[in-house]
Amino acid sequence: MESLLVSACLLGAACKYNGGHNALPPDALEALRRRYRLIPVCPELAGGLPVPREPSERRGARVVSRDGRDVTAQFQRGAEIAARLAERFGAKKALLKANSPSCGSGQVYDGSFSGILTQGDGISAAYLKCKNVEIFTVYFELFQI
């Protein structure tokens, strides 16, 4: 069975910055489980950030928390761990949380903490793409992967 790296919050893990999750609907999750071996990862936790934590956003090459701390190193460490998991389990695809400073693909919040999206990738999504992992981010892409 093919492996699929999945943002842990999409699987219901309470690992978001606020302690919540972004769980997929049960029918979508079941469809994924029938087709893939799901490999959960939360790069932010893997990189050493706690739950709960201040929200963070991309500012160019850096990631900054709302209280002004530079958390780029933790995000980079989490990206490296996510890539190692993908390699270890042979995952050529990943289903990641949209818009996240870690997992967003194609667009992320702009660093102003005002809800504005800008073109770009989260740290982990960008790193996984460099490792030739195909990234998916939204519900309607589930059945294309």
141 pLDDT above the threshold of 80: no
| 127: number of Cβ within 10 Å | 22
The beta-carbon contacts of 65-74 under 8 Å, at least 24 apart in sequence, are 66/113, 72/123, 73/47, 74/44, 74/47, 74/48, 74/49
Q: Find the mean pLDDT for residues 122-135.
A: 98
E strand or H helix at 123: helix 123-130
Q: pLDDT tens-digit profile of 57-85?
A: 999 999 999 999 999 999 999 999 999 99
The per-residue pLDDT of the chain, averaged, comes to 94
Which residues lie closer than 8 Å to 120 by C-beta, 6 or more apart? 58, 104, 106, 107, 108
What pLDDT band is residue 138 in, cutting at 50, 70 and 90?
Answer: low
What is the three-state SS of 73-110? HHHHHHHHHHHHHHHHHCCCEEECCCECCCCCCCEEEC
